[in-house]
A and B are shown apart, each in its own frame.
Chain A
Amino acid sequence: MGNKKTTALSGAALAAVMLALSACGGGGGGATGEVAAPPSDPKEVSGEIKVLTQRTDLVQNGTLQKYAAEFNKVYPNVKVEFDGITDYEGEVKIRMNTDNYGDVLLIPGAVAKNDYPKFFAPLGTAEELSKYRFGDKTEVDGKVYGIAQFGTANGFVYNKKLWRQAGVTSWPKTPDEFLAGLKAVKEKTGATPYYTNFKDGWPMVQWTANLGVVGCDARASDALAGPVSPWKAGSELRAIDGLLHDIVKRGLSEKDPTTTNWETSKALLGEGEIATMMLGSWSITQMRDAAKKAGGSPDDIGFMPFPAQKDGKHCAALVSDYQQAVSVHSHNKPAARAWVDWFTEKSGFAEKEGVVSAVKSAPMPATLKDFVDNDVRFFDRSEAKTAAVNDIDEAAEIGLNKQDYRQKLIDTARGAAKGSIEDFFADLNKRWDEAAKTVGS
């Protein structure tokens, strides 16, 4: 055809386009440093703000819009819009390569702490925001970039009736007592003593949130920043993961973990088919609703702390949920900040959801009444070194806040994966320590 020349030309043009386009992937930084200060006069703030949220259910059923209407009574000139995103982490991470990621958003886990100033407007100094819990999680160079939506305590949700039938009336104080309790549940009630939620996976991540409960140590997470062999004998993670291992090893979990289903598990707990699950206190309201729908009694749903005691008292770690931040590219920063403050302090959201308010002075929610009555010691887990811990975690490809290594742990425990549990922990320690050395240097 004699078209050789055209092909060569268009090939060159294609290559040029490809180079040009690939060169401008990734976003540029915005103006940094401007503080999103709370407005002094509510009547004067105006503008439209877009709030990104992972709670698509609350957007669809109009709950959040009701909050916005309440907000407008105080701030009449601010228009609040919600953008519910199902795959929040995945989608927002990609949107953050542009300048357009809403005015108020929840900080995705993928964003490195040191990059916060490039994406979010500072909300004030650590001192100015000291009335909120978990401020250290988003503190970079003395400035705080996010305020927690709320916090959750960690423990086991359980069906009180089943445990009572099994003859266990007081909370187990040691892992062995807990295992004995599960065994009694299995023998006396025929229910599944513990449900792993292995298939959906994310509920297993909740185990990590217990870090610190064994020694009542608020700094347990920070202590991982370094080549410290986190799974060595006697460590927090060893106690936590060891308990999960023993549960599965002794056949006290569901028969086929690979086909578990989170949505059904909620009803099964209410109906008395499942006795126990490790979750955050955020789940209690959901479980009670599910119990009611399944024809059980919401009062049967209880919450017990991790089976370990320090000085004769149980401990429960309070960990931060998503942190709300104001985009550095927002054109209405005062309005955005007003929303964040109002939602955290005045909306009553935490109370309604039965979770721990981010405001330190607020009382514990009704869902944690048992904990308060039984003198469980709460501690806010320090997040001062989370950035360093996450760096090591990612470099080691372990994923403390991912399900994969616990799925492998369960597979090892039930014999589906080769190797002993000692080798498994030793391998984790080795990877962690090696990664800590390369990241640290």
Chain B
Amino acid sequence: MTHTTDTAPEGAAMTGRSSTDKGRDETGRDRRRPAGGRRGPAAGRTRSWRDSPLRRITPWLFLAAPLALLITFTYVPVASMIAYSFTDWDGVSPDRENVGFDNYVRIFTRPELFRVFFVSGYYLAASAVQIVVALYFAVILSFDLRFRNLFKGILFFPYLINGVAIGFVFLYFFQDGGTLDSVLAWLGVSTDHAWLGDPTSANVSLAGVSVWRFTGLNFVLFLGAIQSIPGELYEAAELDGAGKWQQFRHIIAPSIKPVISLSAILAISGSLSVFEIPYIMTGGATGTQTFVIQTIKLAFQFNKTGLASAAAVVLLLIILLITWIQRRLVPDDKVDLV
């Protein structure tokens, strides 16, 4: 875990570890020595380099391109959106009037606009399933296993597919007599159920698609974190007689805690702002409307761009608030296993 370096300077950590392992000691020092040697003369040269005005600008030159892109495509649109949220703009008209906080007042006096957050509950439950499944596979595949890389690929693959394609694929999957029905028929279960036909079933089906799609991402995050745990810890644990479950409970889980809490934050903000899959598959019909779909409809069907911008700002604030509360409840402690 990279966090180990927070507790001690690089050199100390190195020597601390090397004292337990004689073999690595040699190579570790060999690698360090030329690096240290180079540092000497370089330090001398920086005296004059530090005064050069170019030195102050250089990092900004490197940053110019990404910053320009970030500002143009993220901050400017967000600023415009916030500006629109105080107007009654219809999205096309050259004129718009400033209406102050009117749009916000309207949003908060219409409770039915927030009822769609119940739909997010399905996706939140799905994300919990998703995190557990991803964690399970990440742990299993972090041990030496046959066809390990193949399984990794299979699990990560859905995340690489474009969301629109997934929507269409699963539309056929859930169709009457579609893939799901055929597979169930092979297993001897004949069902006449319209999977997207009633609100509960439709939302569960859509949340299932979302699990299928995003498990790969969580899986890769977890796997990366697990693989950065030094191998000696497992060895030591095994020598002490720890089983796989105990290894997971006392080594893996605590050391990937920051990644798990990150996943939890992403899961919550993600389930509040679900959009692609339900929009493509049902268009928000049959009780599958989410807050973002509702906002899009306000803006593009009913031409209430001002109100929709305010709704988008409200969603942003809700997500920020929830993230803040979550960070308060589960502070991001530094992990120290050594």
Q: Do A and B come from one complex?
A: yes
Chain B binding surface, main DSSP class: loop
Asked if A419 is at the interface (CB within 8 A of a chain B CB), the reply is no
* Distance (whole angstroms) from the CB of A4 to the closest CB of chain B: 15
Given B178, B196, B197, B284, which contacts A404 in the complex, CB threshold below 8 Å? B284
| Given A18-B79, A258-B282, CB of A110 within 8 Å of CB of B303 | yes
| Given A96-B92, A258-B194, CB of A18 within 8 Å of CB of B76 | yes
B92 touching A115, Cβ below 8 Å: yes
| 6 cross-chain CB contacts under 8 A | A25-B83, A110-B90, A258-B194, A258-B196, A397-B302, A399-B301
A14-46 Cβ-contact flags toward B at 8 Å (1 or 0)? 100111011101111100000000000000000
A22 touching B174, Cβ below 8 Å: no
Q: Among residues 153 to 181 in chain A, which have CB atoms less than 8 Å away from a CB atom of chain B?
A: none
Report A-chain residues with C-beta under 8 Å of the C-beta of B83.
22-23, 25
Given A17, A112, A256, A411, which contacts B93 in the complex, CB threshold below 8 Å? A112
Report the interface size for chain A: residues with CB under 8 A from the other chain: 43
Asked if B331 is at the interface (CB within 8 A of a chain A CB), the reply is no
A395-431 Cβ-contact flags toward B at 8 Å (1 or 0)? 0010100111001100100111100000000000000
Report the interface size for chain B: residues with CB under 8 A from the other chain: 39
* Distance (whole angstroms) from the CB of A258 to the closest CB of chain B: 4
Asked if A394 is at the interface (CB within 8 A of a chain B CB), the reply is yes
Asked if B214 is at the interface (CB within 8 A of a chain A CB), the reply is no
Given known contacts A29-B94, A258-B202, A404-B301, what 13 new A-B pairs fall within 8 Å (CB)?
A21-B76, A22-B83, A110-B300, A112-B92, A118-B93, A199-B282, A199-B283, A256-B197, A258-B285, A394-B302, A394-B304, A399-B302, A404-B297
* Distance (whole angstroms) from the CB of A409 to the closest CB of chain B: 11
The distance in angstroms between the C-alpha atoms of A414 and B198, with both chains bound, is 9
A258 touching B197, Cβ below 8 Å: yes
Report B-chain residues with C-beta under 8 Å of the C-beta of A399.
301-302
Shortest Cβ distance from B289 into A: residue: A404
A83-126 Cβ-contact flags toward B at 8 Å (1 or 0)? 00000001001001100000000001011100100100000000
Report A-chain residues with C-beta under 8 Å of the C-beta of B282.
199, 258
Report A-chain residues with C-beta under 8 Å of the C-beta of B297.
404
Asked if A194 is at the interface (CB within 8 A of a chain B CB), the reply is no
Shortest Cβ distance from A258 into B: residue: B196
Report A-chain residues with C-beta under 8 Å of the C-beta of B199.
416-417
A417 touching B76, Cβ below 8 Å: no
The distance in angstroms between the C-alpha atoms of A242 and B282, with both chains bound, is 24
A19 touching B301, Cβ below 8 Å: no
B284 touching A417, Cβ below 8 Å: no
A181-211 Cβ-contact flags toward B at 8 Å (1 or 0)? 0000000000000000011010000000000
Asked if B89 is at the interface (CB within 8 A of a chain A CB), the reply is yes
* Distance (whole angstroms) from the CB of A367 to the closest CB of chain B: 30
Asked if A293 is at the interface (CB within 8 A of a chain B CB), the reply is no
B96 touching A26, Cβ below 8 Å: yes
The listed residue with most B CB atoms (<10 A of its CB), out of A14, A257, A258, is A258
Report B-chain residues with C-beta under 8 Å of the C-beta of A21.
76, 79-80
Given A256, A403, A416, which contacts B176 in the complex, CB threshold below 8 Å? A256
The listed residue with most A CB atoms (<10 A of its CB), out of B71, B94, B196, B304, is B94
Asked if B270 is at the interface (CB within 8 A of a chain A CB), the reply is no
Asked if A130 is at the interface (CB within 8 A of a chain B CB), the reply is no
* Distance (whole angstroms) from the CB of A11 to the closest CB of chain B: 11
* Distance (whole angstroms) from the CB of A231 to the closest CB of chain B: 19
The listed residue with most A CB atoms (<10 A of its CB), out of B92, B171, B286, B303, is B92
Report A-chain residues with C-beta under 8 Å of the C-beta of B76.
17-18, 21-22
B79 touching A22, Cβ below 8 Å: yes
Given B175, B284, B301, which contacts A256 in the complex, CB threshold below 8 Å? B175
The distance in angstroms between the C-alpha atoms of A96 and B176, with both chains bound, is 42
* Distance (whole angstroms) from the CB of A328 to the closest CB of chain B: 11
Shortest Cβ distance from B288 into A: residue: A258
Shortest Cβ distance from B297 into A: residue: A404
Asked if B91 is at the interface (CB within 8 A of a chain A CB), the reply is yes
Asked if A437 is at the interface (CB within 8 A of a chain B CB), the reply is no
The 8 closest A-B pairs by CB, nearest first: A18-B79, A258-B196, A256-B176, A256-B194, A407-B285, A259-B175, A22-B83, A22-B80
Asked if A255 is at the interface (CB within 8 A of a chain B CB), the reply is yes
The distance in angstroms between the C-alpha atoms of A154 and B333, with both chains bound, is 67
Report B-chain residues with C-beta under 8 Å of the C-beta of A256.
175-176, 194, 196-197
The distance in angstroms between the C-alpha atoms of A146 and B145, with both chains bound, is 70
Shortest Cβ distance from B76 into A: residue: A21
Report B-chain residues with C-beta under 8 Å of the C-beta of A414.
197
